[in-house]
Amino acid sequence: MTENPGSTPPRDDEPQPPQGQPPAGPPPGQPYPPQQPYGQQPPPGQPYPPQQPYAQQPYGQPGYGQPGYGQPAYAQPAYGAPTTGTGVGDAFSWGWTKFTQQVGPFLLGVLAYLVVIGVASAVLFAVILGGTVASVDPETQELRNGAGFGLVFGYLVVLAVILLLSAFMQAGVTRASLEVADGRRIEIGTFFRFDEFGKVVVAALLVGLGTAVGTLLFVIPGLVFAFLAQFTLFFVIDRRMAPVDAIRASFTLVTRNLSAVVLLFLAVYAANLIGSALCGVGQLVSFPVGLLATTWMYRRLQDQPVAP
């Protein structure tokens, strides 16, 4: 048999086509066409275009209409996007919404502090009154020598304890409000947990002392100091600042945003005044709502994120 010079003998390991069918592949003497991607065959009579390599998409970027690895198929807003504006109405609206969402922990936390303050005040007053009765002359019903000074000193001690416990209540609710602003759930223990306990105590004492001294100087200076130092505990708890640095930061933040902070300060004062008028029960609501509104303003004045 004469071999075709243009053909090559078949290999033993190459599969043979069935009898009566033409062999697969191109006609003899023509090369195989380049392979095309699936579904992109050229029209009849057109040459095959050169094969293109697969274009790999960058990591995390969507390709071919599908979301990238680990990316959602729909757009989601970034968590904690800053809320626009610094209005007092927006602050109280946010504060009321967050209070109603976690009303249980807020009510129980504030109530626990009020109970502690009430019990401590009653015990101290009982001790003072007991000492006063013992210092009264049974015959003349007059105070003995030095008893009047002891009575005044005892009342000052009671007042200092009440102010200190009230400052701790404010610090506890401030911490809870900051947790809410970060989008976290709070519990009763949140109101009594302080990472910087010493700084909180010193800051509360300094603010209370400055307000008291200013109040003795015809009241107005005390209100001004309390107004300028209203964000002190926020800087101590949120930024872990030293007490003096926190007071300075509060002064700076207030003086740079006087118009917004004045309205906030007056609104919070009015809310607490109304809460106190309702037999003190209203403070269970007005106090945390006012601090939540102050937290919103504290974050917004610094362009920091607030949980929606």
Tell me the pLDDT band of 243, cut-offs 50, 70 and 90. Answer: very high
**How much of the chain, in percent, has pLDDT values that exceed 90?**
38
**SS3 of 143, please?**
strand
Compute the average pLDDT of residues 161-186. 91
Comparing 22 with 119, the larger pLDDT belongs to 119
Distance, in Å, from the CA atom of 267 to the CA atom of 263, rounded to the nearest integer, reads 6
Q: Higher model confidence: residue 239 or residue 140? A: 239
- Strand-pair partners of 66: 63
Q: Is 69 left (phi over 0), alpha (psi -120 to 50) or beta?
A: beta
Instruction: Give the model confidence (pLDDT) of 191-229 as tens digits.
Output: 998 878 889 989 988 998 888 888 888 888 888 999 999
Averaged pLDDT for residues 17-29: 56
Taking the C-alpha atoms of residue 22 and residue 33, their distance in angstroms, rounded to an integer, is 18
The pTM for the full model equals 0.66
When the pLDDT of each residue in the chain is averaged and rounded to a whole number, the result is 76
Over residues 281-302, the mean pLDDT reads 92
pLDDT: is 51 or 253 the higher one? 253
Q: Is the pLDDT of residue 78 over 50?
A: no
Select from 302, 303, 304, 300 the least CA-distant residue to 93. Answer: 300
Q: Where do the H-state alpha helices sit in the chain?
A: 88-101, 103-134, 147-181, 197-216, 220-228, 232-239, 243-256, 258-277, 283-300
- Contacts of residue 166, defined as CB under 8 A and 6 or more positions apart, other chains included, come to 117
% of residues, the chain, pLDDT over 70: 64
Segment 85-109 mean pLDDT: 91
Flag whether pLDDT at 14 surpasses 80. Answer: no
Which pLDDT belongs to residue 155? 78
Range ranked top by mean pLDDT from 56-60, 71-75, 262-266? 262-266
For position 227, what pLDDT does the model report?
Answer: 93
Q: How far apart are CA 288 and CA 134, in angstroms?
A: 42
Higher pLDDT, 155 or 241: 241
User: pLDDT at residue 97 above 90?
Assistant: yes
Q: Which residue has the tokens 């109304």?
A: 274
In Å, what is the CA distance from 295 to each residue of 173, 179, 269?
10, 10, 15
Give the tens place of pLDDT for each residue, 100-115. Answer: 999 999 999 999 998 9
Predicted confidence band of residue 265 (pLDDT cuts 50, 70, 90): very high
Q: Residues 237, 191: contact at Cβ < 8 Å?
A: no
How far, in Å, CA of 303 to CA of 27, rounded? Answer: 74
Let me know: does 244 contact 206? Beta carbons within 8 Å: yes
Q: How many CA atoms lie within 13 A of 120 on its CB side?
A: 16
Among 19-28, 234-243, 297-306, name the one with the lowest average pLDDT: 19-28
pLDDT value of position 143: 57
pLDDT at position 75, please? 33
| Stated length of the chain | 308
